[in-house]
A and B are shown apart, each in its own frame.
Chain A
């Protein structure tokens, strides 16, 4: 069986994706699988035709990798691939849509708004921001509606910090989310379907040293402390697992995903779903796999065998 891992692409998460791709390929090789890693560029389609792999594993983070475009192209090529289809990707990648979908299924989500730059321009940013701060309170979170790795995300503690936070978010896209800041334990739950329906792995608790799980905290070893199992009650762990599987199913995700939550005293609050979870040395999915007693390569090999 031959496998191609797709990594790289042109999004701001290129570097993360390359690292994820290399790591996954390495762990698959350890399972005896023949793997090559390809970038997503003009050479890709001819290369896929030449190589005719049995299965493709897209690990391209951000934009084309997670917004469903790549899944559509792979479908068009008739290539079998691991991971979610284009419709699910599209729903999950847009955080506002994802929130709506999972909220309709009863999951708690942070109260907030997703707004394009144009609406601030048309209505006058100060008035809109004032209304939002009044409604959401402070602190609040601002992040690009589409995108990952916390790029362009800011924890806004005062009203004065909001305008530059908006500018930072709009640098990554035309739409930004403004949400109530939910105080609690940040966890990531990986969901994997190895043939018996989607199962949640143990939640990984995230404790960034700086207090904010930003890009540096995500990708610098040592900057964040991870707890597996998470330091939450057994009941909360169960709630997380249930909510993660529910979100995975509600969004129509396939094979694997990572669902991020904040666990408060009262509830489990959905933040976002990731269709191409990071697989780097500091990523959450591999830690969850280890907690579940599997290596990355074993998980991927099992998923490949199902295609």
Chain B
């Protein structure tokens, strides 16, 4: 006798859909969307700071003057004018490119997908930082890639560990297709590679003949005025560079890009056309109009100030409140600090208590494919006000960490069973 599975297609799904299940952790994040909850979880840019009236006027102008273009299909590679403007946007990070080298995508997330699609067969290895951006891990997993983490320190990816990982893969007969790195203001680790570190990593990748995938959504959001130079600024053939307007303008527009060597770019365009025909003309032209008519770099500077103030609020409150043994990274830009808890506290296990105490964060396990990160969590300071951040940290300590320490004292710190499914919030929840 056959029962009902409530999904007649359950046996038809591709192997890559394995693991796409409901998740206890996701259920908890649903509560985090309530305004009572101080969410230190999501990486939502503070778009309230945008000049909405000015954007509204420029969108209105766009529709009045070029509506027939904005509402129409566009070029698969992306709007020519925008690609020219992107070259200017990349100048501060030292990336020199021709507009033809650029593929505009629906956020840099799509660029990640396209690069993985054209390079990775199931079982191919992608080396990523430990921890790494959850959205990238999701893409790699969906292409059934063998994701391997490489150690980081306070300056990001550790060159020696990278060399060792490459050697180990070579020895095991595995094909390493990509080295994926976020050199500036890392998500989630909050650290930044120095110039020397970047050079070492590039040399290792070049010597190994492995393509470096450089993800740089936060590069312009440094707090000390210095803009780190992208790895791509030193090698136009061995690096695919991913950029995004999500953090510097608006995530809702979904406009990002890839800068790739000629042959790779051709394949990315074809892959993009196969996926979506062309990126949204409306979004691209809105960005283009914004860049043309607004003092966009001043807005970036305003964002830097705003996020610096919030980072300071987080660091100061953690310094005052968190128990001895807790450590955290001090980001010099971007959105995140990576916190490591003392005495084997399991950040995944304590999330239900945190949500009950009306504070949310992302447990460290969400940033690994192999269950690491139990004693860590990512705290985002980009969205809540400094006062709310301080309140969130206070709640974390008063009702969550202390209770967890108490439990560990009672039961020891054996690892708690990890519930199946994604351990991070969806993009719309923070």
Which residues from chain A sit less than 8 Å from chain B, CB to CB?
10-16, 18, 41, 117, 120-121, 125, 149, 151-152, 154, 160-161, 163-168, 170-172, 205, 207, 214-216, 218-228, 231, 281-282, 287
Contact = CB atoms under 8 A, between A and B. Distances in A.
15 contacts: A10-B31, A10-B36, A13-B27, A15-B27, A18-B30, A117-B410, A125-B412, A163-B412, A164-B415, A167-B411, A171-B353, A220-B22, A221-B5, A221-B10, A226-B3
Interface in B1-46: 1-7, 9-10, 20-24, 26-28, 30-31, 34, 36
Contacts, number: 128
Nearest to A16: B27
A199 to B, nearest CB: 23
Interface string B407-429: 11111101111011100000000
A172 B357 CA distance: 11
A102 B296 CA distance: 67
A167 B418 CA distance: 12
Nearest to B25: A215
B412 A215 contact: no
A267 B7 CA distance: 32
Interface of B: 1-7, 9-10, 20-24, 26-28, 30-31, 34, 36, 346, 349-353, 355-356, 358, 406-412, 414-417, 419-421
Contacts of A205: 3
Given A164-B416, A215-B23, A281 B6 contact: yes
B416 A282 contact: no
A216 B31 contact: no
Given A222-B6, A226-B4, A171 B420 contact: no
Given A166-B407, A215-B419, A220-B21, 16 more contacts: A10-B36, A12-B28, A12-B356, A13-B27, A151-B352, A154-B417, A160-B414, A164-B349, A164-B415, A171-B350, A171-B351, A215-B23, A216-B419, A221-B6, A222-B9, A228-B4
By DSSP majority rule, is chain A's interface helix, strand, loop, or mixed? Answer: mixed
Contacts of B10: 221-222
B6 to A, nearest CB: 5
Contacts of A218: 22
B307 to A, nearest CB: 29
A207 B251 CA distance: 42
